[in-house]
Amino acid sequence: KTADKAEQPQARGLGPGEKLVLEQQALADKYKHLEEVLLRMSELSAATDPRRAALLKKAVGQSKEHLIGAQFDALVDLLRKEQLSRASESQEHVAQDLRALLELLLSENRAQRIESEKARIREYLKRLNLIINRQKDLQGRTGGAGEPKQLSGEQGELARSAGDLAE
């Protein structure tokens, strides 16, 4: 922990502006590393999950297209020059581009959730059709010469199945 404190900008006697520059530079470095990781993940998942690989490549492409890494560097330079108003505007642009990138990356989860929801609804429909068919069968046997006690038990069981499905 003491080594950590020695590496913190305040512990080295830096002012708030210098500390801000170093923090922003650290964020820029982390972002560049994130781009590298996304690209590597894309390469690794290309064979097993081509859709995900394409999404990751698209995210890196969008990042390059919007020059997010360069925007981080420009932001650091503005902070070094103490051009805080322009740095603030630049930071807002970076934040917007990062939000768009995050939205793109989250779209993969949204597609998976939609597919999962469709599968769940298909299963409900299957179960509902079985209940309807059983009800029609019971209705036909009730109109015929079916045993009332047996039919009553089956109807109760069918009602429980419908209740379970409703829950």
For the stretch 7-25, pLDDT in tens is 444 446 777 778 888 888 8
Structure tokens at 6: 């020695």
Q: How many CA atoms lie within 13 A of 74 on its CB side?
A: 14
Res. 156 pLDDT band, cuts 50 70 90: confident
**Amino acid making up residue 70:** A
Structure tokens at 123: 């299963």
For the stretch 47-91, pLDDT in tens is 888 888 888 888 888 888 888 888 888 888 888 888 788 888 888
Q: In this structure, is the dihedral angle defined by the CA atoms of residues 50, 54, 56 and 60, taken in order, positive or negative?
A: positive
Res. 4 pLDDT band, cuts 50 70 90: very low
Residue of 68, 93, 90 whose CA lies nearest to 80: 90
Residue of 35, 32, 34, 56 whose CA lies nearest to 45: 56
